């Protein structure tokens, strides 16, 4: 089949084996291709050269404090959901140099290292992570000060998104309006249907890449089928969410009631639940490390022995450490309760004041990777009180019937 032009907004079909062609075209266009790979018993983003490297047929069983992979022959290319990493690792790396200073003749020459990052093409980004990317853009590019390194990497990013066909019990993107359907911000979006991929063209850049790939116009109903994948998943998440109230046997689905959540949390800054959760919280900071939007970072001085070559190195930081709020008069947030309160109220409430959006996309990573399985949706429900708790809903349902 010869090359054809597909306009933005149009749908087309490729066979699963054409993923390799897509990867090759992206590489030829100068991109470093990254995507989900199996490493250390988890599915994480890594460099991708061949489609054989994709974790085809693997499913992730996730729940509070638990992550296990299992093989399922029926599973497709992207039927796992999100792993412990997000794109944050690539655009806002865990460690990088911000400033280099050299002293010559008693004078400091200070300059920011020039970074010329190789453009990244990410394959397999989910709706939640796309929303997280939009949030990071607001934080790091939207204010009076722009983070130049993030900007340089973000500018040339190529996104091949994937519509989820499955949700983990920890997923609650549907309550955060951040999924499961990929709706915006992608160059290409894939939906796996009958061992084919239906591809939606999101941008002219995406159209250009598809120009060099053999594709077919989608067969009749294929677009409908592709769209049904996410609509059905959303409906399934919503029905599972209802069934999971008070029913321990039903498959669980997290959900978060976000109505007036800003005022709810800020009016309850002295709620006893903060102390209660602090008894379980280890203040390890895992939730902040796996969160795709957490942006706190600390800067350290790294000097050679002569003291004449000094670098300022930025590393991810966490509001769960004592150093995070440290001043001369001591640490402001001394208790774990106050640190958990800072994290949760920032993520779900004050983030809205700062950036006009929630800081949470419902990816559920903080629930899965919390060593003691603390679940933010449960904490919010507890603060919301009896009115909203699963038990109370069940009681009301019983009374109503």
Partner 1 sequence: MATMLEKPPTTEPWVAHSARIADIRPEVPGVFTYDLEFDDPAMAESYCFLPGQFNMLYLPGFGESAISISSDPQERGKLSHTVRIAGNVTQALARKQVGDPLGVRGPFGSDWPMESLRGHDIVIACGGIGLAPLRPAICHILNHRDDYGRVILLYGSRTPNDLLYTQEYDTWRDRHIEVEVAVDIGDANWRGHIGVVPVLFYRLRLKPQETAILSCGPEIMIRFVVFEALARKVKPENIYVSMERNMSCAMGLCGHCQLGPFFVCKDGPVFNFRQVESYFNLEDM
DSSP conformation letters of 67-110 = EEEEE-TT--TT-S---S--THHHHS-SEEEEEEEEEETTEEEE
Query: Judged by CB under 8 A, does residue 103 bind partner 1?
Result: yes
Query: Judged by CB under 8 A, does residue 328 bind partner 1?
Result: yes
- What are the backbone dihedrals phi and psi of residue 59, each rounded to the nearest 5 degrees, phi first? -120, 145
How far, in Å, CA of 273 to CA of 320, rounded? 17
Q: How far is the CB of 348 from partner 1 (least distance, A)?
A: 12
- Total interface residues for partner 1 by CB under 8 A: 53
Query: Judged by CB under 8 A, does residue 154 bind partner 1?
Result: no
Q: Among 121-129, 190-198, 345-353, 379-387, which window interacts with partner 1 (CB under 8 A)?
A: 345-353
Identify whether 131 is preceded by a cis peptide bond (ω within 30 of 0). no
Q: Which is nearer to partner 1, 139 or 167 (CB)?
A: 139
The correct pick among 129, 241, 317, 375 for binding partner 1 (CB under 8 A) is 317
| Total residues found in the chain within this entry | 401
Query: Judged by CB under 8 A, does residue 107 bind partner 1?
Result: yes
Query: Judged by CB under 8 A, does residue 111 bind partner 1?
Result: yes
Q: How many distinct helices (H) and strands (E) make up the chain?
A: 14, 15
Q: Among 119-127, 165-173, 217-225, 330-338, which window interacts with partner 1 (CB under 8 A)?
A: 330-338
Q: Looking only at residues 56 through 85 of this chain, which bind partner 1 when binding is defined by CB under 8 A?
A: none
Q: Which is nearer to partner 1, 40 or 270 (CB)?
A: 270
The correct pick among 7, 52, 249, 327 for binding partner 1 (CB under 8 A) is 327
**Using H for helix, E for strand and C for coil, what is the string for 273-309?**
HHHHHHHHCCCCCHHHHHCCCCCCEEEEEEECCCCCE
Query: Judged by CB under 8 A, does residue 325 bind partner 1?
Result: yes
Query: Judged by CB under 8 A, does residue 99 bind partner 1?
Result: yes
Query: Judged by CB under 8 A, does residue 322 bind partner 1?
Result: no
Q: Among 29-37, 94-102, 212-220, 246-254, which window interacts with partner 1 (CB under 8 A)?
A: 94-102
Cβ atoms of 367 and 283 within 8 Å: the answer is no
How far, in Å, CA of 233 to CA of 2, rounded? 35
**Structure-token pair, residue 207:** 């159209």
How far, in Å, CA of 234 to CA of 179, rounded? 8
How far, in Å, CA of 383 to CA of 352, rounded? 19
Closest by CA position to 193, among listed 226, 160, 231, 161: 226
Q: Among 9-17, 65-73, 81-89, 337-345, which window interacts with partner 1 (CB under 8 A)?
A: 337-345
The correct pick among 116, 145, 399, 401 for binding partner 1 (CB under 8 A) is 145
How far, in Å, CA of 39 to CA of 124, rounded? 16
How far, in Å, CA of 122 to CA of 31, rounded? 9
Query: Judged by CB under 8 A, does residue 21 bind partner 1?
Result: no
Query: Judged by CB under 8 A, does residue 299 bind partner 1?
Result: yes
Q: Which is nearer to partner 1, 93 or 373 (CB)?
A: 93
How far, in Å, CA of 106 to CA of 133, rounded? 43
Q: Which is nearer to partner 1, 211 or 326 (CB)?
A: 326
Residues that bind partner 1 (CB under 8 A): 98-99, 101, 103, 106-112, 139-140, 143-148, 266, 269-270, 295-301, 303, 307, 310, 312, 317, 319, 324-329, 332-335, 337-338, 342, 346, 349-350, 353-354
């Amino acid at each position: 089949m010869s090359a054809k032009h597909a306009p933005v907004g149009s749908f087309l079909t490729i066979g699963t084996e054409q993923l390799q062609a897509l990867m090759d075209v992206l590489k030829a266009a100068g991109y470093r291709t990254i995507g989900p790979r199996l490493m250390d018993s988890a599915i994480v983003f890594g460099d991708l050269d061949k489609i054989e490297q994709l974790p085809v047929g693997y499913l992730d069983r996730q729940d509070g404090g638990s992550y296990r992979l299992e093989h399922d022959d029926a599973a497709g290319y992207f039927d796992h959901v999100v792993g412990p990493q997000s794109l944050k690792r690539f655009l806002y790396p865990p460690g990088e140099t911000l400033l280099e200073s050299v002293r010559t003749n008693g004078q400091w020459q200070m300059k920011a290292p020039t970074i010329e990052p190789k453009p990244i093409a990410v394959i397999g980004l989910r709706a939640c992570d796309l929303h997280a990317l939009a949030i990071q853009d607001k934080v790091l590019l939207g204010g009076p000060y722009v983070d130049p390194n993030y900007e340089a990497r973000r500018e040339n990013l190529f996104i091949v998104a994937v519509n989820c066909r499955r949700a983990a019990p920890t997923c609650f993107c549907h309550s955060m309006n951040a999924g499961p359907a990929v709706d915006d911000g992608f160059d290409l979006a894939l939906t796996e249907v009958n061992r084919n991929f239906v591809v939606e063209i999101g941008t002219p850049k995406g159209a250009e890449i598809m120009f060099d790939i053999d594709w077919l116009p989608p067969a009749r109903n294929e677009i409908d089928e592709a769209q049904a994948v996410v609509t059905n998943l959303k409906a399934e998440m919503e029905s599972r969410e209802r069934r999971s109230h008070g029913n321990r046997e039903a498959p669980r689905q997290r959900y978060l009631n976000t109505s007036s959540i800003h005022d709810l949390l800020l009016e309850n800054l002295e709620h006893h639940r903060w102390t209660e959760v602090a008894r379980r919280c280890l203040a390890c900071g895992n939730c902040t490390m796996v969160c795709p939007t957490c942006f706190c970072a600390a800067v350290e001085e790294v000097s050679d022995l002569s003291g004449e070559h000094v670098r300022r190195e930025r590393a991810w930081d966490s509001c769960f450490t004592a150093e995070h709020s440290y001043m001369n008069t001591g640490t402001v947030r001394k208790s774990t309760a106050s640190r958990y309160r800072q994290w949760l109220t920032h993520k779900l409430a004050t983030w809205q004041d700062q950036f006009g959006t929630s800081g949470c996309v419902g990816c559920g990573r903080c629930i899965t990777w919390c060593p003691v399985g603390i679940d933010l949706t449960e904490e919010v429900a507890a603060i919301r009180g009896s009115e909203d708790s699963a038990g109370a809903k069940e009681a009301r349902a019983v009374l109503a019937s």
